[in-house]
């Protein structure tokens, strides 16, 4: 890891995102992909887009596509971008998944649905429908079940936990933040990180 990458990890509180309680992951995701809590982050910082207070989901999607390299770094390792507004034909109807990726490590398609508002349980039904279409019509026989991520600016943890508790599809809810955490909090996190390193080093010397 380079110094710049470490600095950003501290700035966006990466370690808390990875180690926090995973109530935002469905039972289906945890059962199918036991290492999902380590591979998928709870929060993505998209400060590189410079989004204003008011924006549309289209502007958000187009911005992420234009800055795909930075966005993939926020998502995690092994993500390969497939397409935006990926067309799914079901019966006589046409649907479009906002962003479609392939995860090399999990060998699975990953559909990302973007929201510019707070998470609502109905969002999960839409995503699960897309995953069913991907698994039936797009997924190859050597690939694992498709994964779905709802990316929204805010999510009530209790509502998310209720929604995830009975979902047998591999799904999760993650938040995106338009700005990095304040400098004061960054300094506090850096101090906590240094203290943990000291404790670990002291334990190794015993």
Mean pLDDT of 4-26: 54
3-state secondary structure 34-68: CCHHHHCCCEEECHHHCCCCCCCHHHHHHHHHHCH
Select from 54, 58, 15, 80 the least CA-distant residue to 178.
Answer: 54
| Cβ atoms of 173 and 127 closer than 8 Å | no
Q: Dump pLDDT digits (tens) for 30-51.
A: 999 988 888 888 888 888 898 8
Q: What is the pLDDT of residues 105-142, one digit of tens each?
A: 999 999 999 999 999 999 999 999 999 999 999 999 99
Q: How many domains does the chain have?
A: 1
Nearest-angstrom CA–CA distance, 169 and 181: 32
Q: Residue 52: which domain range?
A: 3-205
pLDDT digits (tens, 9 = 90+) for 143-181: 999 999 999 999 999 999 999 998 999 999 999 988 765
CATH number at residue 65: 3.40.1350.10
Average pLDDT, the chain: 84
Q: Are 100 and 86 in contact (CB under 8 A)?
A: yes
Among 181, 153, 155, 150, which residue's Cα sits nearest to residue 167? Answer: 150
3-state secondary structure of 120: coil
Q: Give the pLDDT band (50/70/90) at residue 76.
A: confident
């Amino acid at each position: 890891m380079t110094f710049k990458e470490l600095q950003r990890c501290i700035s966006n509180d990466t370690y808390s995102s990875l180690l926090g309680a995973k109530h935002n992951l469905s039972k289906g995701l945890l059962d199918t992909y036991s290492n999902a809590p380590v591979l998928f982050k709870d929060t993505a910082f998209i400060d590189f887009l410079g989004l204003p207070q008011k924006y549309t989901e289209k502007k958000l999607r187009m911005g992420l596509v234009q800055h795909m390299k930075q966005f993939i770094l926020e998502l995690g390792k092994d993500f390969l971008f497939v397409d935006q507004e990926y067309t799914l034909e079901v019966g006589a109807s046409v649907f479009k998944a906002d962003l479609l990726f392939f995860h090399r490590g999990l060998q699975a398609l990953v559909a990302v649905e973007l929201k510019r508002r707070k998470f609502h349980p109905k969002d999960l039904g839409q995503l699960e429908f897309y995953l069913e279409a991907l698994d039936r019509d797009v997924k190859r026989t050597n690939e694992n079940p498709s994964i779905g991520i709802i990316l929204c600016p805010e999510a009530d943890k209790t509502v998310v936990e209720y929604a995830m508790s009975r979902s047998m599809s591999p799904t999760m809810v993650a938040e995106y933040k338009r700005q990095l955490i304040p400098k004061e909090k960054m300094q506090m996190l850096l101090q906590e990180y240094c203290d943990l390193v000291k404790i670990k080093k002291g334990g190794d010397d015993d």
